[in-house]
Chain A
């Protein structure tokens, strides 16, 4: 659906229906002009609208003017003998005024010069929104040649590696912290306020502080992602522990299990579904955060790629990057779901 709209508004060859595009081809309008001496004369302007700036066929005569206009641009029209136009297609025109003509609009500048702009239609110009095939073409090109000194895979790999490092560290610290909070009132007392306060702080809001403390490069990014994952994982692990049914603990005790055995064989496995839910959320947050962090500063990465392309108005690379980022985010979530249904198949069925 979105793709069809996208194609329709960019004149894509991949979709059958388009909204009206910019005019291309030849058109003309007539004018009446007044020379400095007050003499009126009629004439005609023939216009070729196209990408290459070729003049329309046929020779210019004393009252016939030929001009070439690029699609989507304006073109000033110099009338013969510096005459001033007074009407266009029989309609009077004054400085600042405009007359709609076939396939475009003729307007008069403040100084009295005519200007023609071809019909733009409803389609977007590539600089705003490139067509799907342009994006695909760019994708193939960037895949082959890379962008900004790095291959596409290096960019994406760099982002994924940061996410993996930050998430792993966050889980490594967050899960034990969550367990400790779930099991010990002392830990809960100390860390609950911190966790509850840090949880709603968007990781992006930490960027300035992280830059000050850890610098702008890899360390800073990994620390940021670590923080993004840490609170989510701690809260998930805590919820997993306190969510255990008391009857399970009681049953294990009266089957002769020790405290440690209950922790290892009951509390930890019982918390896994919650931890997986947390991990999915944390991965999503990390992926979003890494892209944003790369927008701020990076030498490679998916976010760096699109912000660099945006500076050069390479909208097709920006589009390609956004689509890739979306697809990878989706892919990460799918992988996490798969791992979940394989590793904790009892989730939601207790």
Chain B
């Protein structure tokens, strides 16, 4: 079956003190090729763990992941990753960062440079390609991270709160860019975010995860990403369903966090 399939993924961390954390319990999902899935949930519900398992950085305690029919084992160039921050290579300039994947694969310069420059143009960094990473703003750095991931032409792009460290205005612009890139490249994307609005705007589908143990609580199919491809994201937010869905999810997550607080012993 084409696409990314997660089959009953469970993850248990054994702690040094003998106890353990059930970070994920029987998570099953299917992402069709070209689908963009947003993942929401209170912090600590296992979102990062899930993404790390799909990326191959962690082996699940049980369960299986397949991509286009073959089992996923360990990290691979077919599954690209965009981190929140700090994952760029400061000792390389912008262009060398973006061309890292092709260079490691041993491809010839004449082969990958046109594509690298085209991507830099798409993310608006054409004039910055010789700049050092530390000379760029946070938003520009995330553009480099996106371009670097795309330059490797992965089948799936995994994003862990990629816009979480940006200010509100930059964030809005970057959301539009992510949507545009997704539309243009047709990549399968799994996007973790803390922002309900972002999840609604960008995701064709959205899952809300619940903690203790981490599991899928509810799933939505959303029309907004389709709308957003043709109009300003601010206009999309005015859609009547947008507000109601946002409120519904917000109070859902709110309740989960209340419950987590209730579990904790009152400090005395």
Out of B89, B134, B148, name the residue touching A265 (CB < 8 Å).
Answer: B89
A38 at the interface (CB under 8 A from B): no
- When the two chains form their complex, are residues B89 and A254 in contact, meaning their CB atoms are under 8 A apart? no
Across the interface, name the chain A residue whose C-beta is closest to B90.
A346
* Chain A positions 270-293 with a Cβ under 8 Å from a chain B Cβ: 270, 272
List B contacts of A269 (CB < 8 A): 89, 91
Chain A's nearest CB lies how many Å from the CB of B267?
Answer: 32
- Nearest opposing residue in chain A for B104, CB measure: A257
Chain A positions within 8 Å of B132 at CB level = 345-346
In the bound complex, CA of A248 to CA of B81 (Å): 11
Task: Select from chain A the residue with minimum beta-carbon distance to B55.
Answer: A254
A254 touches B91 (CB 8 A): no
Judged by a CB distance under 8 angstroms, whether B210 is at the interface is no
B203 within 8 A of A: no
Which residues on the B side are within 8 Å of A247 (C-beta)? 83, 86-87
Separation of A350 and B141 alpha carbons in the complex (Å): 11
* Interface size band for A: 20 to 34
Q: Which residues of B contact A248 (CB under 8 A)?
A: 86-89
Report chain B residues within 8 Å CB of A251.
81, 83, 87-88, 148
* Chain B residues in 8 Å Cβ range of A349: 90, 134
Given contacts A345-B132, A350-B134, contact A252 B100 (CB under 8 A): yes
Query: Which chain A residues (244-266) contact chain B, with CB distance < 8 Å?
Result: 245, 247-248, 250-258, 261, 265-266
Q: Are A255 and B91 in contact (CB under 8 A)?
A: no
Whole-angstrom distance between the Cβ of B200 and the nearest chain A Cβ = 27
Is the beta-carbon distance between A250 and B81 smaller than 8 angstroms?
Answer: yes
Structural contact, B87 and A250, CB atoms closer than 8 A: yes
Whether the pair B86, A255 counts as a contact (CB closer than 8 A) is no
Chain A residues contacting B56 (CB-CB under 8 Å) are: 253-254
Give the residues in chain B near A272, CB-CB below 8 Å: 91
Q: Kindly state the interface size class of chain B when it binds its partner.
A: 20 to 34
CA distance A253 to B56 in the complex (A): 9
Judge whether B77 and A266 touch: CB under 8 Å.
Answer: no
Shortest Cβ gap from B268 to chain A (Å): 37
Interface string of B127-145 (1 = CB under 8 A from A): 0000011100000000000
B57 contacts A by Cβ under 8 Å: yes
Partner of B76, one of A252, A254, A266, A270: A254
CA distance A270 to B86 in the complex (A): 12
In the complex, what residues of A have CB within 8 A of residue B133's CB?
Answer: 346
Contact A346 B91 (CB under 8 A): yes
Q: A256-B101, A257-B104 are in contact. Are A250 and B89 (CB under 8 A)?
A: no
B52's nearest neighbour on chain A, judged by CB, is A250
Q: How far is the CA of A7 from the CA of B101 in the complex (A)?
A: 65
- How many Å lie between the Cα of A272 and that of B92 in the bound state? 13
Contact A255 B134 (CB under 8 A): no
* Complex Cα spacing A266 to B88, Å: 10
Asked whether, in the complex, the Cβ of B77 is within 8 Å of the Cβ of A346, the reply is no
| Whole-angstrom distance between the Cβ of A240 and the nearest chain B Cβ | 12
B223 CB–A CB distance under 8 Å:
no
Docked CA distance A38–B56 (Å): 116
The CB with the most chain A CB atoms within 10 A, among B77, B100, B132, B154, is that of B100
Complex interface: chain A residues within 8 A of B83 (CB): 247, 250-251
A346 nearest CB neighbor, chain B only = B90
| CA–CA, A215 and B87, complex, Å | 51
User: Quick one: CB contact mask for B46-59 with A, threshold 8 Å, 1 for yes?
Assistant: 00000010011100
Report Cα–Cα, A349/B91, bound state, in Å: 11
Which of A255, A344, A345, A350 touches B77 (beta carbons < 8 Å)? Answer: A255
B156 to chain A, nearest CB (A): 10
B215 interfacial contact with A, CB 8 Å? no
Pairs across A and B, CB under 8 Å, 21 listed: A247-B87, A248-B87, A248-B88, A248-B89, A250-B52, A250-B57, A250-B75, A250-B87, A251-B88, A253-B75, A254-B55, A254-B56, A254-B76, A254-B80, A255-B80, A256-B152, A265-B89, A265-B104, A344-B91, A345-B132, A350-B90
Given contacts A252-B104, A256-B105, 7 further A-B contacts (CB under 8 A): A250-B55, A254-B75, A255-B149, A257-B100, A258-B104, A265-B100, A269-B89
A residues near B, CB below 8 A? 245, 247-248, 250-258, 261, 265-266, 269-270, 272, 344-346, 349-350
Instruction: Give 4 nearest A-B pairs by CB, closest first.
Output: A256-B77, A346-B90, A253-B75, A349-B134
